[in-house]
Structure 1
């Protein structure tokens, strides 16, 4: 059986069972609800009749006094009421009164006068100043048969208890109302259930279709990846399926990364070959009788290329170690303004040689928790990058601020900016741009690891790294740490 059919049938069955359960609960609650309402009415009736019978009981004329006559007249009066379509033709009440010993002194049915009712709960509890009520089968031999509800009220002469009045009413008199209510609830409930099932059927089909469509898209994506096709990862409004799609996309990127290993190694080899070739050529050309000016030139070239090799190897090793690091091992409090000043001092000589001004605007009290060495490397990489792409006699602005978005460090140069085609690639490994013609290293490329190194450092600090072209001229590199 297909998963779509399983989901649909399970959803449909669940909704149906839930609706049927609610309907049966409603029907089952009708009977106790009606009886509770009847008990509430009997409480009021018993209390009212107790007040009316007080004088006759007090004067010993309860059996033939005004209370007894009025009650007999009421019972003999023909019924004329129609309650919600159910005719009421006779009186259903039975009233009896007991004295303070529980002996029956009045009974509207003339059945129990002189009997001891002191052990019945309605009389017993009322004599104990508690609420007296009981429900007793009409036929003691048939405990599951029809029952009668008895509700008692005390007869008080001022603060003295002089008797107990009980009103009895068969629960069967409520059966027509219970049956009618249950019939209506069942009828309307079945109609509602049918509508609900029809609606759940439509919703179930729609939900199943959307869910299985997303699964089919993931399946097709996996098949396309297995066939080596270049297709976009599917998206989904379902959180779990969206996470699965993202996981599949990440898996594909990792697989694609393995395929690019050879290309990356080839590119790295090429990067290393260039400075090594330059060093080798310089060493072969240097001779003892070479003019000192030429010898100095070649020695400076060797020094430059050696420094480039060292910087490249350090970046590769640092990036490899950083990619394996998941959390900061020992974060410490870092005063960012001092760290920035320290990194600025390291590049001041290069900047001064080219008459580039380093303009700093720093808030002295801003601090973060992190790795001072790594944060310093990130700032240094951005400063070195800004110098490489800045013309002589320009300025580099270094601005540290504390905003609602977080702690921000912006480094802005006045260079030619990043070409549009490179904006999305500038942070990728091994991707670099040639230095502009108006700089000391015109035409040369870096290892392409510096900005990716910065991105990894900021991710380790739960921060962000952004780089974009400025509105006027140059590039703005922004480091953002959380507050």
Structure 2
């Protein structure tokens, strides 16, 4: 299924579900809302009429009251009124009055006069001083035949002497309910159709932009010359420009130059180790030490070859989310190897290496890349440490991370350079006057990221610079 169709279906599903839910809520709430409004009106009417007939009820002259005659005439009147699109042609109120025993003494329709209504809720509850109301179907099982009754007490001071009930059939307002529900459904349908059209337009635009981007990627992958599509200043346009910039950088001279600088920089340490060992051999040393230096030369030579292969492999996986073929790496043994690699440089500068690795910590990763990364940090420390001073390497555990810290006693990082030490080709002058390529720390940061870790370089509290390489510790190896 194409991505445009997926987006359209997902969009329409969300909009459809939301519209269905809202329409159901609105339609379901129309009827009880109208009923509540009707009941509120009946309460006002019942209270008003109860007050009107109270004096006649107290005096016992209710039957001869002209007010009842007026109520009786009310039922015979005919009207023709259009209310919100619905024509009203008759008056629907029914009024009956019951005495203190619940016996109906007046009924505007004349059907219930003399009957005992004391057990109907409207009369029963009102005689007890409560709110009396009921809804009763005139036809069993037919909700449309429901009649709502609301009663009000007829008072003689604080005493209830009767009950006046106003009744109105719900069928009289059903037309308004039906009309409101019909309008909601009609307009909801229109809204749904408009949403579908908007979704179609959005899906078409997105699918078209993605097709253009896919065509560009396919052409670039095939090695053809193709200009990036004009996709505007949105996220897809930004992605297209980023892909084009990436392609340009990968294919351009700048990337090749950076790679050569990186290779040259990273080969500096093994070459220096080989040269130092060779110079010591040339001076003449005991056979046992000569054998150790020769082994170091062979080891460093092999390391150069491995380093080139690994750096080329790193170029290929720079944009990947993880390393291929990662395995367990013992950090204490790794630090011993790094210390051995730097032995000749330390001797040349008269530096002592203080290695403190009491914790037996193991991480998953690429041993050669980690060795080179720690070696880069140690090389920096050796460059900045004062002559005849010391460099410390510490291995510790911090929660779920292994922390490798390398501390020198040098001048530290100037304030202006704190935020720039990880920039490519940015380098601070060494105390001895040498200048690096500025690729060591960016390389360490890349290796740390590939291993899911991080690296920081900051001024140490006791002076000098402290570099920390943090690597996550696996739950199981």
Secondary structure of residue in 2 paired with 1:270:
helix
Corresponding residue number in structure 1 for 2:114: 114
C-alpha contact 1:151 1:168 (8 A) present in aligned 2: yes
Is the aligned partner of 1:278 residue 2:318?
Answer: no
Instruction: Please give the alpha-carbon distance, in whole angstroms, between the structure 2 residues aligned to 1:5 and 1:30.
Output: 36
**1:19 Cα shift?**
1.9
Which residue of the partner structure matches residue 187 of structure 1?
Answer: 186
Match of 2:88 in 1: 88
Structure-to-structure mapping, 1:379-398, within 5 angstroms: 379-380=408-409, 383=410
CA distance in 2, matches of 1:23, 1:450: 61
Aligned to 1:255: none
User: CA distance change for structure 1 residues 71 and 304 in 2, over 3 Å: closer, same or farther?
Assistant: closer
Task: Provide, for residues 264-290 of structure 1, a one-character-per-residue CA deviation record: whole Å limited to 9, x for no partner.
Answer: 986543221111122122237xxxxxx
Aligned counterparts of 1:80 and 1:145: Cα–Cα separation in 2: 22
2:204 aligned with 1:164, yes or no?
A: no
Q: Quick one: distance in 2 between partners of 1:149 and 1:17?
A: 36
For 2:75, the equivalent position in structure 1 comes to: 75
What are the within-5 Å matches in structure 2 for residues 12-411 of structure 1?
12-140=12-140, 142-206=141-205, 268-283=269-284, 307-308=347-348, 324=363, 347=386, 377-380=406-409, 383=410, 410=414
* Offset of residue 186 of structure 1: 3.0
Deviation, structure 1 residue 349: 7.7
- C-alpha deviation, 1:52, in angstroms: 0.6
1:80 shift after superposition? 4.8
CA deviation after TM superposition for structure 1 residue 7, in Å: 3.4
**Number of residue-to-residue matches in the alignment:** 347
Query: In the aligned structure 2, how far is the partner of 1:449 from the partner of 1:323?
Result: 24
2-structure distance, mates of 1:347, 1:306: 11
Q: CA deviation at 1:311?
A: 6.4
The Cα of 1:209 is off from its aligned counterpart by 5.9
TM-score (norm 1): 0.56
* Contact 2:352 2:388 (8 Å CA) reproduced: no
Describe the SS at the equivalent of 1:129.
Answer: coil
Distance 1:159 1:193, change over 3 A: same
Residues 355-386 of structure 1 deviation map (CA, whole Å, 9 limit, x = unaligned): xxxxxxxxxxxxxx999x976x4352xx1xx5
Quick check: 1:12–1:204 contact (8 Å CA) kept in 2?
no
| Residue 73 of structure 1: how far off its partner (Å) | 2.8
Listed as ranges, the gaps of 5+ residues in structure 1 are: 228-235, 246-251, 253-259, 285-302, 327-345, 351-368, 387-397, 399-408, 414-419, 468-475
Query: 1:217: how far off?
Result: 9.7
For 1:195-227, what per-residue CA distance to the aligned partner results, in whole angstroms no more than 9, with x for missing partners?
22212322344456667888x599979x96x99
**Conserved in 2, the CA contact under 8 Å of 1:278 and 1:305?**
no
1:146: how far off?
A: 1.4
Contact 1:455 1:465 in 2 (8 A): no
The question of whether the paired residues in 1 share the 8 Å contact of 2:4 and 2:206 is answered with: no
Displacement of 1:96: 0.5
Following superposition, the deviation at residue 4 of structure 1 comes to: 4.0
- 1:67-92 superposed Cα distances (whole Å, 9 cap, x missing partner): 21121232233325332343333221
Match of 1:339 in 2: none
* CA pair 74-272 structure 1, distance change in 2 beyond 3 A: same
- Partners of 1:207 and 1:447 lie apart in 2 by 42
SS at match of 1:79: strand
Q: Deviations over 1:47-76 (max 9, x none)?
A: 111111111111222222122112123223
Partner Cα distance (1:447, 1:186) in 2: 69
The 1-side partners of 2:175 and 2:79 are apart by 17
- Matched ranges for 1:399-478 at <5 A: 410=414, 424-425=424-425, 464-465=456-457
Q: Distance in 1 between matches of 2:438 and 2:352?
A: 6
Task: Let me know the Cα RMSD of the aligned residues.
Answer: 5.5
Query: SS of the residue aligned with 2:126?
Result: helix
Q: Secondary structure at the match of 1:12?
A: helix
Residues in 2 aligned to 1:139 and 1:123: alpha-carbon distance in whole angstroms: 21
Q: Using the alignment, how far apart are the partners of 1:134 and 1:442 within structure 2?
A: 101
